Amino acid sequence: MNSFISSARSFINRDKTLITAFLIFSLVLTAGVVSASTTISTDIATQGQLSVTGTSTLSGGLSVTGISTLMGNVTIGTTTPQATLLYVNGDIVVNGLIVGQGASITVPNSNTILGLAALGNGNASVSTAFSVAVGYHALSSISSAYTGNNTAVGYNSMGAIVGVAASSSSNTALGRDSLGQATSGARNTAIGSGTIGGVLTGGSDNTAVGYSALTMAAGMSADNTAVGRNTLGSLTGGNNNTALGYNSLGANTTGAGNVGVGTYAGHYELGSSTLYIDDQDRGNSAGDKVGALLYGTFNSTPSLQTLTINGKVGIGSTTPVANLQVNNPTANSTTTMEVGNAQSNKGSCLKLYRTDGTPVYAYVAAGATTFTLSTSACATVTGF
């Protein structure tokens, strides 16, 4: 074999044209050394080491069972590399793991793929761009229409998104099964395992951060914001809800326009347009309403909105001893409380209760400087 190699080297140095023709035929080496520019149009199989220090073009197959030493640039699929050392013009599949940008899909531009069956699982009919799929089955179900600008990182993240034009674009999913069952939807953000985990079919503009936040969101659920573990965790079809804190609004299934801030805030509320600020598990919906620090209802008509404060209110006092205590915190100063305003021509009225429960109304009549007390409602008094 050594004499063969020595003869081949002499042959190469004497006439490179002839060696090129010689290598057109099948070449089997026990140990191979190629140190000159070489064009090989047939398969090479070597049972030993292969060392290449020159520029070699191989259009056949290469099988090396020993150690390969490649001293120059290595290119696969192109003769004009855009990177040093190794340039591969196409996707790489290693034990089923796809690495590349989706060369098999219709519009592969600017995609990044790393994971088994990621980004359409090699489906040639897919048309997508500017998407990132990292992890087993990430964005694996995209099958037809343009569904670009999606970012999926994690096992099965966005694994069911099929693609219905722009209605399935600009989503971000980070974590196992995040947006994992959604088939369509746009501009959703899911960060955390199981976030926005229901079967969304067009639901858009949802934001979920935290384990299992919005985990049941399905259908056309839209414009919900959930931050914290299990926040809005039972919601299947509601819109425009905002929950911040562990299990906040956690039992609501189809409500809309609710706001919950704090641990278990409004957890048992099943309706819509409510406000809760709390940090306790109150046991049931009635407990939520009478126990939350703040409970309110929203309405498009401001005068119909309500706000309940469950606790003592101190104005100028951090330790109120009454339901409402007004105090000027400055020492040796006067505390002033004003009811009404100078522009009012209807006066001000206080409704008090006697010890027998009968209401008594206190007001100052026109031209008077003292209170008038009456059991008649102020609205029945002339001038009110």
- The torsion angles phi and psi of 95, rounded to 5 degrees, stand at 50, 40
- pTM here is 0.74
Tokens 């009456």 belong to which residue? 374
Q: Are strands 324-326 and 313-315 parallel, antiparallel or unpaired?
A: parallel
Q: Nearest CA to 175 among 200, 150, 157?
A: 157
d(CA 145, CA 124): 12
Residues 79 and 98 sit within 8 Å (Cβ to Cβ): no
Tokens 């309706």 belong to which residue? 271
Q: Are strands 207-209 and 112-116 parallel, antiparallel or unpaired?
A: unpaired
Q: Nearest CA to 221 among 249, 243, 202?
A: 202
Per-residue pLDDT of the chain (384 residues; tens, 9 = 90+): 455 445 545 544 544 444 443 443 334 444 555 555 566 666 666 666 666 666 666 665 666 566 666 556 666 666 666 555 555 656 666 655 566 655 455 545 577 888 888 887 655 455 677 888 899 888 888 765 556 789 999 999 999 887 655 578 899 999 999 999 998 889 999 999 999 999 988 899 999 999 999 999 988 999 999 999 999 999 999 999 999 999 999 999 999 999 999 999 999 999 999 999 999 999 999 999 999 999 999 999 999 999 999 999 999 999 999 999 999 999 889 999 888 888 777 788 899 999 999 999 999 888 888 999 999 988 887 777
Residues 259 and 276 sit within 8 Å (Cβ to Cβ): yes
d(CA 133, CA 179): 13
Sketch the domain layout of the chain as residue ranges. Answer: 2-88, 104-222, 238-330, 343-384
